[in-house]
């Protein structure tokens, strides 16, 4: 398939922090990367910048046509890990970064993430009931303690939103690890004209729910006006960055029917993990509520890597 885009837009704000630990970059209008660094001044920003720059460098040197594979993606991420290792050699290693990566090519979109920065695939004005509002087709599943406890049934969805240890993540790109943390990878082929891919650090979500996010993307404002609505986050404490990627057109090609879309079944798609029940009220009103999720769970989580995103 041939995917064309409107001019991508970015957000890159420092918030109330003393330094900017988020990094964003792109290459050839096909590769988009966003990282949220951890570790404080001269650590978090270095980690995020190193990963962003390393990935662009790897793609520039190794991607010669419009083909791409998961093995190449893993090689690119390993190269970024190696650059982190080189920087940390002889320096304090208490640094790290999240990773979100989106690559657009002839077989659709490959998305990968580590940590709690997010990737969304949004289809505006296409809700199941036929009303305006749109749907989230993909939301990357946070690698966080809060999400693990929610998925295990220890806390509810509402409790997860206000969890006291919300800043604790269970995967990050850090130097010096014997066992690297792997990225969750998903292949998206159900792509239509008008779709949005939205990549953001967790700072963008401090004061914006998914419903509010959908309201912005399903509005009739231009992309520049949507960007301004999203950027009005002056009360956010954390660094907050985002990519807004709007699909202009999708031209189908021979063989596209054999491509597999993993969104409906992938475990790394939070849309498939958050339990829901649909309650019909009247002829045309559909109310969606959270279903109970209280499965047995061991109270002690053994051998769990946790990284606190404390940026003070």
Q: Would you call 12 exposed, middle or buried from its count of C-beta atoms within 10 A (0-12, 13-18, 19+)? A: middle
Residue 294: its pLDDT value, please? 35
Q: What is the pLDDT of residue 80?
A: 97
pTM of the entire structure? 0.86
The rounded Cα 141 to chain-centroid distance in angstroms is: 8
CATH number assigned to the domain covering 2-308: 3.60.40.10
Domain extents in the chain? 2-308
Q: Give the C-alpha distances (Å, rounded to integers) separating 242 from 101, 103, 165, 206.
A: 12, 15, 23, 13
Alpha helix stretches (DSSP H) within the chain: 44-62, 70-88, 145-152, 157-161, 210-217, 223-231, 270-273
CB 246 within 8 A of CB 6: yes
Q: Residue 232: what pLDDT?
A: 77
Angle, CA of 185, 190 and 23, to the nearest 5°: 45
Q: Quick one: pLDDT at residue 124?
A: 93
Instruction: Tell me the pLDDT of the chain (312 aa) as tens digits.
Output: 999 999 999 998 877 777 888 999 999 999 999 999 987 656 889 999 999 999 999 999 999 887 899 999 999 999 999 999 998 776 655 789 999 999 999 999 999 999 999 999 999 975 555 455 689 999 999 999 999 998 888 988 888 877 888 789 999 999 988 899 999 999 999 999 999 999 999 888 887 888 889 999 999 999 999 999 888 766 777 788 999 999 999 999 999 999 999 999 999 999 988 765 444 444 444 444 444 433 333 333 434 456 666 654
Q: What is the pLDDT of residue 132?
A: 53
> What integer pLDDT is reported at residue 161 of this predicted model?
77
Nearest to 263 by CA among 100, 117, 140: 140
What pLDDT, on a 0 to 100 scale, did the predictor assign at position 299?
Answer: 35
């Amino acid at each position: 398939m041939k995917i064309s885009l409107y001019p991508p837009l970015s957000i890159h704000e420092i918030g109330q922090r003393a330094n900017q630990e988020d990094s964003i970059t792109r290459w050839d209008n096909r590769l988009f990367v966003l990282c949220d660094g951890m570790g404080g001044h001269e650590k978090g920003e270095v980690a995020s910048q190193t990963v962003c720059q390393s990935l662009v460098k790897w793609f520039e040197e190794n991607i010669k046509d419009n083909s791409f594979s998961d093995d190449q993606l893993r090689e690119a991420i390993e190269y970024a890990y190696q650059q982190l290792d080189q920087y940390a050699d002889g320096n304090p290693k208490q640094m790290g970064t999240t990773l979100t990566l989106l690559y657009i090519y002839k077989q659709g979109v490959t998305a990968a993430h580590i940590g709690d920065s997010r990737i969304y695939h949004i289809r505006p004005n296409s809700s199941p009931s036929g009303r305006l509002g749109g749907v989230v087709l993909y939301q990357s599943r946070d690698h966080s303690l809060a999400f693990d406890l929610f998925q295990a049934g220890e806390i509810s969805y509402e409790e997860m939103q206000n969890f006291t240890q919300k800043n604790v993540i269970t995967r990050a790109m850090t130097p010096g690890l014997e066992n690297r943390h792997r990225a969750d990878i998903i292949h998206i082929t159900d792509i239509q004209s008008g779709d949005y891919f939205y990549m953001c650090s967790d700072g963008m979500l401090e004061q914006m729910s998914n419903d509010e996010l959908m309201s912005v993307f399903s509005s009739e404002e231009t992309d520049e006006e949507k960007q301004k609505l999203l950027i009005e986050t002056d009360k956010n404490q954390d660094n907050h960055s985002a990519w807004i990627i709007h699909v202009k057109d999708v031209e189908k090609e021979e063989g596209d029917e054999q491509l597999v879309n993993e969104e409906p079944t992938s475990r790394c798609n939070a849309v498939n993990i958050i339990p829901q029940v649909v309650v019909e009220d009247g002829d045309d009103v559909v109310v969606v509520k959270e279903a109970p999720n209280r499965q047995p769970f061991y109270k002690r989580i053994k051998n769990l890597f946790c990284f606190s995103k404390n940026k003070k």
